[in-house]
Structures are given as structure tokens and as C-alpha cells.
Amino acid sequence: MSGRLPDLVIAGVNKAGTTSLYSYLTNHPGVCGSSVKETCYFLPIRYGREPDPLETYTDYFSACSSGQLAVEATPGYFYGGGPLARALDATVPGVRVVIVLREPVARLVSFYRFQQSMLLLPSDLTFAQYVDACDAHDEKALLRDQSLNPWFGILGGNYDRWLPAWIETFGPRLRIMFADDLGSDPTGSMVALAAWLGLDPGPWSTGAMSRENATTGFRNRRLQQAALSVNARLESFWRRNPAVKRTLRGLYQRVNAGGAADGPADELRAELEARFRDPLERTAAQLRAAGIADLPSWLA
């Protein structure tokens, strides 16, 4: 089997800044992004199914030259754990993997707002009701049924369940990043990543970096539905013409942007932080055992 395969895969996690990371990477002249950001090629493994023929995957990188580092970003891969990690490693020998982690309550709120912006949740569902609904779903069903992904918000913050398999499978070919660093110091984060990848850091050493894929509310549901449809159909075009997308997105937000969706009250936030405390302690221990000692405050 011939065909271009990626050199780098951003494998996790959802709503942790992976779109911004992918955008920063693909703006580098030495990097070539897949024709769509999320190829989702290995995602069926997460749900116990086989992926498509490999030609489907290599087609995403057909425009990448031999001198470029090819990259894709499907943050849902992380939750496929060992089976998906091992399949990725076997299919793409030598591939490097980046996983971005985010404080789980903030990630949960962002995940909820994103699902609402994608029209996958009832428009009048409050955040507190969303938390209750996530809890009401059977865990085994959440893990095997892809259609239930909108309700994966709480379970998706238990990083300790899936992280060990990625560390074990990829070892030094795995890089853990944190949304905190990517948000507060994108230049420093990308320069450090360049050193790990063997890329010239120059393109990231100067110039501003803007955050991508920030979730916003909307006023008109039908207009939002139309915008989502156009965005999905033209994703390859947007990837080739990011400035055009930024301009049109700004115009659309002037027309249909609304207030942010509901978030947690202080009491609920405290309850959620308590729920995530033990999983985060285990995550921190796993990271330290892997030699990652510089942890953000929510892990340290």
C-alpha cells in the first residue's frame, strides 16, 4: 500500500484548543494539514468498528509534499484508549502524537456550549440540566454508541481512564500539552513544540496568533443551521483560505451572534470540581510517572 500518511496526529482532547493548535501548525510552511482537520479515520475503533480502507486515509494527505510534515487533528481519538492507540501506531509506524489537556470543568462547560451551538442539544437545556442528563446516561452506552457523544461531557474529563494507554503505546513519541499554556503563551508553546518536531521555530517566533473555534451563542436557530451546513461543505476551502473564513465568520457573528449559553452556578461548579478531584490526582500521578513534572495548577 502506497500513499502519504501523517507524521503527527493531534489525538485529544475535545474543547481543549486543538483547533487553534492545528491552525498554528498548518500556518507553518514546513507543515501540511489534512484536507479536513478531523479526518476521524480511526474513530470507528473507539466504538468497536473497523475503519475504512487505508486509501480513504491517505487521500486526506494527497496534497502534502515529501518535504512537509503532514498533520491531522481528531481529538475524539483520545477516548478510544488502547485499541485506537495501538491501531494508529500499527497503521502509521513512527507517528508522533500530541494530546492537549484542559481543566475538566472548563472543558465540560465548553463542550456543553459547543454541542448547543451545533444544535445537538435542546436550546432551552440549562447547564445544570445537561449535567443531570449526562449522569442519567448509561456509561457503557456512552462508550459504545457514537450518537450519544453529546452527553459525553462529564465522562470525557476523566483523563486517567485513557491516558495510560497512550503513554504506554507512544512513549517519547507522545507530547502532552496543556490548554492553559496554549492560551496564555501560544508563541512559547509552539516554539517548544517546534524543537520537539525538529521544525524551524521562526514562523512562530514573530506575529500574533489568534484563537480558533471559540464557541459563541446564536440568536436565530435556522440561520445557525444554515451556517453549520455551509461550514461543513466548504471545510477544505476554509483550510486553504483561513483569512476568508475569518472575515466571513466575523460578518456572520455580527448578524447572528448571541449571548453565551448557560454555565455552572458556584455551588454546581464546586460539586463538579470535587467530582473530578480523584481522577485528576490519578492523571497527575500518571504524568509524573511519565516524566512530566511541570503541571498546571489544576493538576499540581
For residue range 174-189, list pLDDT tens digits in order: 999 999 999 999 999 9
- Does residue 177 fall inside a structural domain? yes
Distance CA 159, CA 176 (A): 12
For residue range 91-131, list pLDDT tens digits in order: 999 999 999 999 999 999 999 999 999 899 998 899 999 99
The range of the structural domain enclosing residue 43 comes to 8-104+154-211+277-289
Distance CA 24, CA 187 (A): 9
For residue range 26-46, list pLDDT tens digits in order: 999 999 999 999 999 999 999
Q: In the chain, how many domains are there?
A: 1
- Does residue 85 fall inside a structural domain? yes
- Does residue 82 fall inside a structural domain? yes
For residue range 212-260, list pLDDT tens digits in order: 655 656 665 566 566 556 556 665 665 565 555 556 566 556 665 665 5
- Does residue 173 fall inside a structural domain? yes
CATH code of residue 73: 3.40.50.300
- Does residue 37 fall inside a structural domain? yes
3 contact partners, CB below 8 Å, separation of at least 6? 54, 55, 57, 58, 59, 61, 62
C-alpha cell at 250: 466575523
- Does residue 59 fall inside a structural domain? yes
Give strand pairing partners of 278.
none
Are residues 269 and 105 in contact, defined by beta-carbon separation less than 8 angstroms? yes
pTM metric for this prediction: 0.87
